Amino acid sequence: MWVSLASALPLLVAVAAFPSKNREHKVKELVTPPPGWTIHAPAPSDHVLKLRIGLPQSNFAALEAHLYEISDPYHERYGAHLSKEDVEELVAPRPESTGAVTEWLASHGIREDDIGRSPAGDWLTLRIPVALVEKMLDTKYHVWTHMGRGESIVRTTSYSLPQSLHEHIELIQPTTLFGTFKKLKSTIHSINEVDAIVQPQDFSPPGLESAGVTVDASCNSTITITCLKEIYNAVGYTPTAKGNSIGITGYLGENANRADLQTFYEDQVPAAAAVNSTFEFISVAGGLDSQNASEAGGEANLDVQFAFGLSFPVPSTFFSTAGSPPFVPDIGTPEDTNEPYTDWLDFMLSHPSPPLAISTSYGDDEQTVPESFARRACAGFAQLGARGVSLMVSSGDGGVGDGNPDPATQQCITNDGRNRTRFIPGFPASCPFVTAVGGTVFFPEQAIDFSGGGFSNFFDRPRYQDDAVEDFLEKLPKGTYRGLFNRKGRAIPDVAAQSNFFRVFVGGRAFHIGGTSASSPAFTGFVALLNDGRLSKGLPPLGFLNPLLYSKAKSGFNDITVGNNPGCGTPGFNATKGWDAVTGLGTPDFGKLLELVT
């Protein structure tokens, strides 16, 4: 008898996970694997899992209230950021949760010295074999392989806990997380050596004067530090304040090459080249930063060159976090660590002085991340924001779709077992505690077609977005994309910046690189300059940006009204007057923003 894929999926999940027959256990989480993932084989019993157990944070609601007060430019507490200790006190689990979970672990032979605890005690980490994890969680792990990418991970689709522990454990991973945390470098506009780039034949460069801003004509085919400062009204500004800092996150074995940075500085920031400026490297969980020219990373080099080039001489740090899919199940690999994002969050939350502005150009389709995990990671971003850190994240390169390079063939199918067609937002851009950065191109600027945008299916729209997003939704023709997106969800992106033709040096050669992975570090560079302006006047750093951007600072953006972001077989959303789901509030006018924030 023929069985449809849709009807077979629930059966597949049941078979894959072997849901509990133990009456003392109750299912904690159950997911349908995202499209493309199939079972390769049972997980080896001696395969080691780095198990992370999240305990409920006792007073996160209070932390969130603090965050919104200190991020509201009209509140009397604006800028009164919390200390590391203040934050940890608010998110520490209740003693009864700590005790119950510790007792449960001990019943399985796990001693206290086998357990790693986060500074707040809200995360427990241990390394144990699959056989023991399967017994503890009353489940069955398999090696799953992605048919299109060939990546493999060890996962289950369901796990159970003793009923008495459900109130004391928020989530356990790796269990149901099928995301692979990809780089957000555009797959539509590929990386090209500069000499090989040819402009489309029908492209006629627009005029390069707009609203009193003059930009060199070359900026319509090559983006440099000079171009960005011209386009965004920052020519002549040099940071001078002490206490400032900027950071770039690196994952998936991406190496930031110092020799390439020097070549970039010689090409675009001669003042930095003159003093042989470089960045501090910090390894997270064993992350490396090879300086072999053949191993230089296009993503990492793009990020550090433009973020640090724009903000020079602000002290800069490149964080490399270990962990890179795919896991290769056939070579006896003892451990697969392909969730590096949580390792980075652990490290940053334990760091006494994290950089004040940080850019991330990596992410997943939101639906490949279990909601419990997404919410817990998002809570980590809130903790950093409460401590005065501004977090920027690329909005993604799939328009309203799933990142497929051909927006006309994106399937955009939900993985909730119902196989509905739906727009695919990205995570962590969908977290309301980060600033999601979309993309533009040319000057005068227009939205670039791959700019990730849309509405979260996990997170409700935060109140700071209400007015701007409601205006946008009211302008949509009635019934537009009905059922394809969540009108009440957190809207993406918040802002935008140039995102194509960035002149980047990789392995000693010049390339043009595009993607919102360029927009985020560029915008972050300007945030570091704004922090300099505040620090130089004795004011605290900006911290969590969004409440400021949507209120007092919204007049400091260039409104983008041309372009759209197709995906899922649709034209996507249109850039329009005011906020839109392609370019957000628009691109920064640094001069105006500096006046508004200082």
pLDDT in tens, 75-117: 999 999 999 999 999 999 999 999 999 999 999 999 999 999 9
Per the CB < 8 A criterion, the answer to whether 413 and 421 are in contact is yes
pLDDT of res. 556: 98
Report helix angle 371-386 to 84-91, nearest 10. Answer: 150
Tell me the angle at which helices 60-71 and 371-386 cross, rounded to the nearest 10 degrees. 50
Same domain, yes or no: 172 and 249: no
Amino acid at residue number 459: F
Of the candidates 152, 158, 186, 517, the residue annotated as catalytic is: 517
pLDDT at 33: 87
Q: Is residue 182 part of a domain?
A: no
Catalytic residue among 29, 72, 134, 299: 299
How far is Cα 304 from Cα 410, in angstroms, rounded to an integer? 31
169 and 29 in a common domain: yes
- Tell me whether residue 6 is exposed, middle or buried, using C-beta atoms within 10 angstroms of its C-beta: 0 to 12, 13 to 18, 19 or more: exposed
CATH of the domain at 214: 3.40.50.200
444 and 509 in a single domain? The answer is yes
Cβ neighbours, 10 Å, residue 473 = 14
The region, left, alpha or beta by phi > 0 then psi within -120 to 50, assigned to residue 177 is beta
Q: Running DSSP on this structure, what letter comes out for residue 462?
A: P
- Measured CA to CA, the distance from residue 101 to residue 104 in angstroms comes to 5
Do 146 and 261 sit in the same domain of this protein?
no
Does some domain include residue 193?
Answer: no
Structure tokens at 131: 């056989």
At residue 528, the pLDDT reads 98
Nearest of 420, 407, 400 to residue 569 by alpha carbon: 407
User: Which candidate in 72, 230, 303, 346 is catalytic?
Assistant: 303
Q: Would the annotation count 578 as a binding residue?
A: yes
- What is the torsional sign of CA 295, 36, 156, 93? positive
Q: Hey, CA dihedral for 558, 561, 566, 568, is it positive or negative?
A: positive
pLDDT given at position 413: 87
Angle at 189 (CA atoms; ends 413, 250), nearest 5 degrees: 80
List the domain range (segments joined by +) for residue 253.
208-327+335-597
Task: Please give the helix or strand (H or E) that residue 340 lies within, else none.
Answer: helix 340-350
Q: In terms of domains, do 275 and 144 share one? A: no
Residues 142, 226 within the same domain: no
Phi-psi region of 538 (alpha: psi -120 to 50; beta: other; left: phi over 0): left
Say if residue 237 is in the same domain as residue 108.
no
Answer yes or no: do 126 and 231 share one domain. no
pLDDT of residue 331: 45
Of 177, 194, 222, the last residue of a domain is 177
Reported pTM: 0.91
- The answer to the question of residue 323 being in a domain is yes
**Are residue 493 and residue 561 in the same domain, yes or no?**
yes
User: Same domain for 224 and 320?
Assistant: yes
Interatomic CA distance for residues 395 and 399, integer angstroms? 9
Task: State the CB neighbour count (10 A cutoff) for residue 24.
Answer: 11
Residues 6+ apart with CB under 8 A from 470: none
> Residue 535 domain-assigned?
yes
Specify whether 380 is located in the same domain as 516.
yes
Give the closest residue to 440 by CA, choosing from 580, 261, 537, 268: 580
Q: Quick check: is 67 in a domain?
A: no
Task: Tokens 């930095």: give the residue.
Answer: 272
Last residue of a domain, one of 177, 200, 228: 177
Q: What is the DSSP letter of 277?
A: -
- CA-to-CA dists, residue 27 to 139, 162, 497, angstroms: 10, 9, 44
Whether 255 is covered by a domain: the verdict is yes
DSSP string, 417-428: SS--B----EET
Q: How far is CA 242 from the centre of its chain?
A: 28
Contact between 51 and 169 under an 8 Å Cβ cutoff? The reply is no
In angstroms, the CA 33 to CA 9 distance is 8
What's the start-to-end Cα distance of the chain, in Å? 70
Query: For tokens 């084989």, what's the residue?
Result: 41
pLDDT lower than 50: segments of the chain? 1-15, 20, 186-190, 196-207, 325-326, 331-338
Model pLDDT for residues 252-309, shown as the tens digit of each residue: 889 999 999 999 999 999 999 999 999 999 999 899 999 999 999 999 999 999 999 9
Is 294 a known active-site residue? Answer: no
Active site residue 395: no
Total domains in the chain come to: 2
The answer to whether residues 300 and 446 belong to one domain is: yes
Burial class (CB in 10 A: 0-12, 13-18, 19+), 251: buried
Contact 530, 311 (CB under 8 A): no
In a domain, 191, yes or no: no
Which of 440, 363, 425, 365 is CA-nearest to residue 394? 363
With respect to residue 87, please indicate whether it lies within any of the assigned structural domains. Answer: no
Assess whether 24 carries a catalytic annotation.
Answer: no
State the virtual CA torsion across 125, 129, 132, 134 in degrees, nearest 10: 90
Strand positions, DSSP E, 431-551: 435-441, 446-447, 454-460, 489-492, 495-498, 502-506, 509-513
